């Protein structure tokens, strides 16, 4: 763009010189003035303005040459005139170009400055926005931490100094942050605010953190005002570029309310479970008592004692079922001691059928399909028969209007593909299957996976403990077998029990005849301690009828008093749990302080053999589980006394 304003000085200068020449006026150094004007035009107007001014000045010089005006150095010759013209043109052009370059540079500089200013402004705005967001986020985090009651803390490893402790963290221990920092800093911190039994948890966690391991742990803190508090902490080590642990940072939360709520829930569940169990056990025992009572009443109505045998045996069987029920209850609380022996399940099914026929309603038909040549198994006989009964009773409850139960046995070879499908942790090989099917209402799919859980029952209150199938499942698992259940609503349910086939031949087992125990050759004195009077009288009568002399005591204290007064006795027969200061084991130990080898037999209605072992008594002592049959009692007494005689 031509800036004409800067060409005008040159034009005016040329015109002024021309006018002065024509009018005879003298202008000092006119050519210098023209040069200055060309310089001004180029410097201020740019390249084109300088070029035009230079051309105008060149024409003026050439004109001056023609008219003979000007210094001789410029007009003296044509060459000099040409040189002057070129100088004027170049001077204006070069100065103009320099001006334009300067203007372009300044314009670019101003644009760059404006761009930088805009960018800087935007960056400042963004930084301010980020600072605001961080502040808001930090405020929200602090609010969340305060609401969640999360504690924060950090420790420097090299000095063991607590470098940060939040108010909430210190509040776990009833302290202020600065108090906590002073109390716990150092390589040997004061842990008096931690429960003495849990301090090893902290010490172990610190050691693992120093090795670079994340830690999650819980301990009990001692609050000066609120007592024991349950604190959970998550701590991570801070590791530098060299892989060295330099600090530990952690969070904490007070779980006291949660732990107390869990305790209350467990207590509530325990009460509910006990209520369910009480009603169910009462129901099961009432069935057994009904059998016993009914058969004994029939004995009173029948004059011929020869006809009593079947009735009495049925009552005895029901009593044994009751003993099995108590064993199953005890095995629910702890793994029972099973006594596996070789059996043929066909025989056990037949034995069970003779009992079930008396308790199942006539509207339910029982059919059996027992495979001939069934392989033998090694299981606990009482538990297998109890399992059959439990499944049959569930079938009965599933068919209130009547129906059909089918019991089937079969030899099977189970391959790994079946075990993978079942998810059972047993070995492939030969198994005996016992299947029990009913035509009842079936079990919905959503309930099927819970049927083996304890206290799961659809029966009303007092109509079952909800433990039957749980006991079956536990027995089969403990026996190394498997159980499968198939059910369809409206069609029925099938339980399939699988037992590992025995590799040895069956030794036929028969019900032992009612043994006659003869009186000892010499009068034997037995000290009997039992707090249940009816049980005491029955035991005494059995022993006296067998020819023993029996002295009784209702407590351990009374029994020891009798023994100290006259230690003539040959045997102690004592209940394990009795009222008073002396339980059965303590009574035996007191007597053995006088006679270290004194023989003892223990009776218990509880499951724990450890009850005896835990008191340091001899492992050779005989322990009998109530109810005790006449045969079991007299066999134990005879065996114990025979052992004493052999030692003597």
Q: Which fold has domain 525-647?
A: Rossmann fold (3.40.50)
644 or 249, higher pLDDT:
249
Q: Where are the domains of the chain?
A: 4-113, 149-254, 330-500, 525-647
Q: Does the 149-254 domain belong in CATH 3.40.50.1700?
A: no
What's the whole-number mean pLDDT along residues 539-567? 93
Beta bridge partners of 207: none
CB contact set of 429 (below 8 Å; sequence gap of 6+): 413, 414, 500, 501
- Per-residue pLDDT reduced to its tens digit, 248-298: 999 999 999 888 888 787 666 555 555 555 666 666 677 677 777 777 777
**Residue 613 predicted with pLDDT over 50:** no
Mean pLDDT over the full length of the chain: 79
**Angle at CA of residue 382, ends 379 and 385, nearest 5°:** 90
Where does residue 527 fall: left (phi above 0), alpha (psi -120 to 50 degrees), or beta otherwise? Answer: beta
Place of tokens 């892989």: 243
What pLDDT score was predicted for residue 334? Answer: 42
Q: What is the pTM of this model?
A: 0.40
DSSP sequence for 29-79: SHHHHHHHHHHHHHHHH-HHHHHHHHHHHHHHHHHHHHHT-S-HHHHSSHH
What pLDDT score was predicted for residue 591? Answer: 94
CA distances from 317 to 18, 38, 116, 238, 346 (A): 155, 139, 103, 71, 19
> Between the ranges 177-191, 218-232, 328-342, where is the mean pLDDT highest?
218-232
113 or 421, higher pLDDT:
113
- Per-residue pLDDT reduced to its tens digit, 348-398: 888 877 666 656 788 888 888 899 889 999 988 878 887 888 888 888 888
Match domain 330-500 to its CATH number in 3.90.850.10, 3.40.50.150, 3.30.565.10, 1.10.3720.10: 3.30.565.10
Place of tokens 């540079």: 105
**Residue 149's pLDDT band (cuts 50, 70, 90):** confident
> Between the ranges 72-86, 358-372, 407-421, 538-552, where is the mean pLDDT highest?
538-552
CB contact set of 424 (below 8 Å; sequence gap of 6+): 482
What's the whole-number mean pLDDT along residues 397-422? 84
562 or 81, higher pLDDT:
562
> Between the ranges 231-240, 279-288, 517-526, 528-537, where is the mean pLDDT highest?
231-240
**Residue 564 predicted with pLDDT over 60:** yes
Q: Is cis: bond before 240, omega within 30 of 0?
A: no
């Amino acid at each position: 763009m031509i800036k004409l304003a800067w060409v005008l000085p040159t034009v005016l200068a040329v015109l002024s010189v021309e006018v002065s020449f024509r009018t005879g006026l003298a202008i000092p150094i006119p050519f210098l003035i023209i040069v200055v004007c060309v310089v001004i035009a180029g410097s201020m107007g740019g390249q084109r303005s300088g070029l035009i001014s230079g051309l105008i000045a060149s024409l003026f010089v050439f004109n001056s040459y023609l008219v003979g005006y000007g210094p001789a150095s410029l007009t003296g010759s044509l060459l000099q005139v040409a040189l002057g013209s070129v100088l004027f043109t170049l001077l204006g052009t070069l100065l103009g170009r320099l001006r334009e370059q300067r203007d372009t540079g300044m314009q670019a500089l101003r644009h760059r400055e404006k761009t930088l200013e805009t960018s800087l402004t935007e960056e400042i705005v963004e930084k301010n926005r980020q600072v605001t967001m961080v502040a808001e986020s930090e405020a929200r985090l602090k609010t969340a931490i305060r609401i969640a009651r999360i504690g924060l803390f950090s420790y420097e490893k090299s000095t063991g100094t607590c470098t940060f402790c939040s108010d909430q963290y210190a509040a776990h221990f009833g302290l202020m942050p600065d108090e906590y920092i002073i109390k716990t800093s150092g390589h040997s911190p004061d842990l008096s605010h931690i429960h003495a039994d849990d301090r090893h948890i902290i010490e172990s966690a610190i050691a693992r953190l120093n090795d670079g391991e994340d830690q999650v742990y819980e301990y009990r803190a001692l609050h000066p005002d609120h007592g024991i508090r349950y604190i959970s902490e998550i701590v991570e080590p801070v590791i530098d570029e060299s892989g060295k642990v330099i600090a530990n940072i952690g969070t904490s939360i007070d779980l006291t309310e949660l732990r107390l709520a869990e305790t209350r829930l467990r207590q509530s569940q325990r009460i509910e479970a006990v209520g369910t169990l009480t009603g169910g056990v009462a129901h099961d025992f009432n069935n057994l008592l009904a059998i016993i009572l009914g058969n004994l009443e029939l004995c009173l109505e029948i004059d011929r004692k020869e006809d009593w045998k079947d009735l009495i045996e049925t009552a005895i069987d029901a009593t044994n079922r009751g003993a099995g029920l108590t064993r199953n209850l005890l095995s629910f609380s702890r793994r029972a001691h099973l006594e596996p022996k070789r059996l043929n399940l066909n025989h056990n099914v037949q034995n069970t059928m003779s009992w079930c026929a008396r308790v199942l309603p006539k509207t339910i038909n029982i059919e059996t399909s027992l495979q001939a040549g069934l392989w033998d198994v090694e299981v606990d006989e009482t538990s297998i028969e109890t399992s059959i009964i439990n499944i049959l009773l569930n079938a009965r409850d599933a068919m209130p209007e009547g129906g059909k139960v089918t019991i089937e046995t079969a030899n099977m070879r189970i391959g790994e593909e079946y075990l993978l499908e079942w998810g059972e942790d047993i070995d492939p090989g030969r198994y005996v299957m016992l299947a029990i099917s009913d035509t009842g209402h079936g079990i919905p799919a959503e309930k099927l996976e819970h049927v083996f859980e304890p206290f799961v029952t659809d029966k009303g209150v007092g109509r079952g403990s909800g433990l039957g199938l749980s006991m079956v499942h536990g027995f089969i698992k403990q026996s190394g077998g498997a159980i499968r259940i198939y059910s369809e609503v409206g069609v029925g349910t099938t339980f399939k029990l699988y037992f590992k086939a025995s590799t040895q031949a069956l030794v036929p087992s028969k019900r032992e005849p009612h043994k006659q125990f003869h009186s000892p050759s010499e009068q034997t004195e037995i000290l009997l301690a039992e707090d249940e009077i009816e049980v005491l009288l029955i035991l005494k009568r059995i022993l006296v009828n067998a020819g023993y002399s029996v002295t009784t005591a209702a407590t351990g204290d009374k029994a020891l008093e009798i023994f100290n007064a006259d230690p003539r006795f040959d045997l102690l027969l004592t209940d394990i749990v009795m009222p008073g200061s002396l339980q059965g084991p303590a009574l035996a130990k007191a007597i053995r302080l006088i006679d270290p080898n004194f023989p003892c037999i223990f009776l218990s209605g509880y499951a724990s053999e450890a009850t005896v072992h835990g008191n340091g008594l001899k492992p050779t002592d005989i322990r009998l589980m109530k109810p005790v049959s006449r045969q079991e009692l007299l066999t134990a007494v005879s065996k114990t006394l025979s052992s004493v005689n052999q030692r003597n």
